[in-house]
Amino acid sequence: MQSSSRRAFLVGRRTERSPWETFILRLRRTAQGAVHDFATEAGSARLVPGHMQDVYRARSLCVEHGVTLALDGIPSAARLDEGPVLWVEPGSAIARCERLGPDDPRWFVQPGCLIGDLEQAGLPQFRDQPPHLTVAAWLADRRSCDWDCGDTAASGLAHALVLLADGTQANLGAFGVDNRKPLDNLRVQGMIPRLFELSAAPDADTLKAGSLWNGRYRLDALRPASGGTLNLAHLLLGHGGELGWVEWLVFDERAGHPAERPYESRYGLRPGAGGAAGAVDRAVRALFDPDGVFPEQGQQF
């Protein structure tokens, strides 16, 4: 019988894998979709999910290995080259787009659906938007979702199911006396009071400059214009891929209309709100992603 030391001498000792190589190997073993390793020094790869289960497993592995989970395809995305990152590109496997019923004005939309398909379907809020963007990238892009303060309902976004950093699925939608569905989720239950506190604080008031909103996250969605409906899903408009992974969305074709400005938007050109904006943004992000699973800054502005 050959000894283990003799076998090691004959075949050579196995080189120990790096943490990044171990991460990629485990991801490839579990993912139904395609995984491409860019072989960068810090560690960078792309996953095109074959099923939503791929995203669930990727999130878990990212948490375990200290890898940032970033949405791919966002315009003006930050480089994220200071640490290991997994770019997740929602592709055709998660790109359904269909009415909820034959005469229903609401549309069920998965993150890989293209904006051009939604425009052709007749949803007006996507008019003149880049047709090649996925709806996930559109939702994350602060320029695309730059509606006036209190007018986030013009997005037509009615509901969102979001995978949070800790693996919780959060149902975000209309919220009020007649609709308390978000409170069914204990994780969101703990977030909502704090979000309302932040939206009512003096720092939030400094983020308004006329009709402009200077924050990275749309806390003004919790203070809709008179007669508007408060909808927690609107917090995701222009979120930069920094608050969670969107599993699916519901849009109402009756409610949406394009932002009044063209795609070359005013975002990033407005006067800064200084320390107040930073404090509010950090507080919102800490509620959604306290452990930094998603990028701290998904866009360059």
Whether the predicted pLDDT of 10 surpasses 70: no
Q: pLDDT class for 270, splitting at 50, 70, 90?
A: very low
- Positive or negative: CA dihedral 136, 217, 258, 181: positive
**What is the average per-residue pLDDT within 46-73?**
98
Per-domain residue ranges of the chain? 4-88, 96-288
- How far apart are alpha carbons 94 and 269 in whole angstroms? 34
Query: Per mean pLDDT, which range of 41-50, 54-63, 90-99, 181-190 is the poorest?
Result: 181-190
Is residue 176 exposed (0-12), middle (13-18) or buried (19+ Cβ within 10 Å)?
Answer: exposed
**pLDDT score at 271:** 46
**pLDDT score at 178:** 53
Secondary-structure class of domain 4-88 per CATH: alpha beta
Q: Which helix (H) or strand (E) holds 34?
A: strand 34-37
Q: Give CATH for domain 96-288.
A: 3.30.465.10
Whether the predicted pLDDT of 57 surpasses 80: yes
Mean pLDDT of all residues in the chain?
87
**pLDDT score at 261:** 54
- In percent, the amount of the chain with pLDDT more than 90 equals 64
- Positive or negative: CA dihedral 217, 222, 227, 229: positive
- How far apart are alpha carbons 203 and 207 in whole angstroms? 7
**What is the average per-residue pLDDT within 172-197?**
78
C-alpha angle 143-182-282 in degrees, rounded to nearest 5: 45
Please give the DSSP secondary-structure letter assigned to residue 209: E
Query: Per mean pLDDT, which range of 33-37, 154-158, 203-207, 232-236 is the poorest?
Result: 203-207
230: helix, strand or coil: coil
Q: Which helix (H) or strand (E) holds 224?
A: none
In sequence order, what DSSP letters do the residues of 56-76 get, joined into one string?
HHHHHHHHHHT-EEEETT-TT
Sorted by sequence, the CB contacts under 8 Å of residue 32 that are 6+ apart come out as 49, 50, 51, 53, 54
Predicted TM-score (pTM) of the model is: 0.89
- Asked if 175 and 123 touch (Cβ cutoff 8 Å), the reply is no
Count CB neighbours of 14 within 10 A. Answer: 7
Same fold, 4-88 and 96-288: no
Whether the predicted pLDDT of 162 surpasses 80: yes
151: helix, strand or coil: coil
- Asked if 113 and 107 touch (Cβ cutoff 8 Å), the reply is no
